[in-house]
Chain A
Amino acid sequence: MSTGLALPLGAFFQAQPNHKLNALYIAGCLFAGGLFIALLTQTPKRFRKPLIVSATFIAGLYFSLEFLLPPKATAETVLASHSPWNRTMSALFGWFLRPLASNSRLAPDENWLSLYLENVNTVWQVIGAFTFALGLWNLIHLHFRNVVHVTKGAFASSFFFLGLAFMIFAGYLKQFSGIPDLFAFATSGLFFQLDAAMFSLIAFFIISAAYRAFRIRSFEASIMMAAALLVMLSQIPVGAWLTSWLPDHGLLSNLRIERVGQWVLRQPNAAAQRGINFGLAVGMLATGLRIWLSLERGSYFERDV
């Protein structure tokens, strides 16, 4: 993935081939950044909230507009069309559509904002990557306290640091010394194995949980259990074997367990999943809009700045 910001902001953002000058420019950027943060610390209280609101809105506007503004292909179609609607659109928005349609740098499904997608994504990723120490700090703090105060979990907590140090050392060897063996061992021999073992524990817990808690106490529980049993049996070979005495074709074949299971999955299940998805999507859209427009309420969003 490319990284250059040269495309959008032209002459100002030119790569500096001279290494010393580049270092100087970097120092200058850091100095300017420091000044910017110093300025932020001096921002009067009444401007802080509007600043956060504007930054959130502008950030959200980019992807929204990139999606909502018409692409080049649409502009070309509207300008070429003779239908009354398109002629009206051309008359009203020709100032926007004509340069869009004639821009040779754009693919048919792109508009001007699409050109910046890669840069915006890379900046988003890099800035996000700098937050790695936020979570790390909390974990280190917790386990360090356990070890230093010799609490009950001190012995186990010391193994957290052992695992962390081992993986960092192995990663360092791979990245900077070109020795990949220890990293392969740390990942394939330890981390991936522990990962798989830890998740496979759920198989044991699910069987004992179902045995203890899955009781038919209500109509809803009965439907749920029936669907669960049908889906389980219909997917595995032994389920097909159970009703294999029924004919392959004809009306009775619809009673074969794999067909009943398929019907449950493809009709009521698919429709209910879509209902859930629509519910989720509308909820996410509403929450998204509230965050974007800084209307969201709650302890984090209403905290005094």
Chain B
Amino acid sequence: MSDLLHLLTGERAIIWAGAICTLAIYTFLYRENVVYRVFEHFYLGLAVGYGLFLIVSEVLIPKWWVPMWDQGQWWWAFALVGGGMFYFIYSQKHNWISRLAFGIVMGLAVGFMFQDFAGNNFPKIVASLKPLWPHHSYAVAAGTAASIAPHTPQASLSVSGALNNAVFVFVLLTVLSYFFFSYDYNKHKAAGGSARIGRWMLMFAFGAMFGSTVMARMSLLIGRVWFLLADWLRVVH
């Protein structure tokens, strides 16, 4: 029985199943059809089942059941009560109890976000204060304000480097001005002009994002085509 199972689920079987799944999904490229719909729903079922398996096998069993039942940490039973509170979302009368549970989870998430915010953004603010004038290298005494900046201000700065820094600071400031929604741009012409340039600068970023997105999506296809030609059909090596 176990040998048969091993054969049915062996490497070739996995590759054949993968090829059939891939081709079934690709039938959608011709037009909407029942084969695609069936595999799409099958995929959804597998995905939900996989998520469920992971939650049970990686969180609930090792982090809740084993400590509570096998290691005698009986207080973990309270977690079931806490988790059960979420299900009051289905109760018309006591719906608010689920909000209590969601409130605690949201509070924790917000607190965590504060830590992440500080760790990520404060150093970026410092890094945005770039020198704009070319200079030779110079020493900075430890403990002085200049030594705080992470981009080593003591290094020399060439003319092209200073120009690049100027471009960077200009783009950053104009983009930030685009996000100031509290200005009436009709009244404040300078702010309006800056925001308009900011919008153009954002287009650079969006263009770059679009260009790299295309590359990423094409790469996904390359992976699939390679799988079909190399692993399944074995016509390329």
Contact = CB atoms under 8 A, between A and B. Distances in A.
Nearest to B90: A137
The interface centre, meaning the residue of A129, A133, A285, A303 with most chain B CB atoms within 10 A of its CB, is A129
Interface in A41-86: 41, 48, 51-53, 55-64, 66-67
Contacts, number: 427
B13 A223 contact: no
A157 B83 contact: no
Interface string A112-133: 0000000010111111111111
Interface in A150-169: 153, 155-168
Given A5-B73, A64-B111, A189 B41 contact: no
Interface stretch (B58-66, B134-142, B150-158, B183-191): B58-66
A252 interface: no
Nearest to B19: A193
B230 interface: no
B117 A284 contact: yes
B contacts with A: majority SS: helix
Given A166-B49, A277-B124, A194 B21 contact: yes
B162 interface: no
Given A196-B220, A292-B111, A219 B200 contact: yes
B133 interface: no
Interface in B182-237: 198-208, 210-215, 217-218, 220-221, 223-224, 227
A26 B39 CA distance: 44
A143 B83 CA distance: 25
A45 to B, nearest CB: 9
Interface string A165-201: 1111001001100010111111111111111111111
Contacts of A163: 41-49
B36 to A, nearest CB: 9
Interface in A19-56: 19, 22, 25-26, 28-30, 32-34, 36-37, 40-41, 48, 51-53, 55-56
Nearest to B43: A194
A32 B212 CA distance: 55
A127 B79 contact: yes
B152 to A, nearest CB: 18
Interface residues of B, number: 124
Contact of A194 (B9, B42, B200, B217): B42
A288 B220 contact: no
A134 interface: yes
A91 interface: no
A268 B86 contact: no
A273 interface: yes
B76 to A, nearest CB: 7
> What 4 A-B pairs are tightest by C-beta distance, nearest first?
A130-B83, A163-B45, A227-B207, A167-B49
11 contacts: A1-B63, A4-B67, A63-B115, A67-B115, A155-B37, A167-B45, A179-B5, A188-B14, A220-B200, A227-B204, A235-B215
